[in-house]
Amino acid sequence: MTGVRKVVVIGAGGHAKVVIDILKSDPTVCLAGCTTKAPGSEVSGIPILGDDSVLPRLYKEGVRHAFVAIGDNWLREKLCRQTAEAGFELVNAISPRAFIAESATLGSGIAVMAGAVIHAEAHIGDYAVINTNASVDHECRIGTACHIAPGSTLSGNVTVGTGTLLGTGTKVIDGIRIGEWSVVGAGATVVRDIPDDCTAVGVPARVIKRRR
Helix (H, G, I), strand (E, B) or coil at 66: strand
Sign of CA dihedral 193, 184, 142, 85: positive
Catalytic, 138? Answer yes
**Of 15, 119, 123, 138, catalytic:** 138
Q: Please state, in angstroms and rounded to a whole number, the distance separating the CA atoms of residues 30 and 120.
A: 31
Phi and psi at residue 154, to the nearest 5°: -110, 125
Burial class (CB in 10 A: 0-12, 13-18, 19+), 90: buried
Does 15 belong to an annotated binding site? no
123 is in an annotated binding site: no
Q: Give the integer Cα–Cα distance in Å for 36 and 71.
A: 14
The edge-to-edge listing of strands for the beta sheet with 189-190 is 99-100, 117-118, 135-136, 153-154, 171-172, 189-190
Binding-site residues from annotation for acetyl-CoA: 147
Binding-site residues from annotation: 71, 147
Binding-site residues from annotation for substrate: 71
Report, as residue numbers or ranges, the catalytic residues.
138
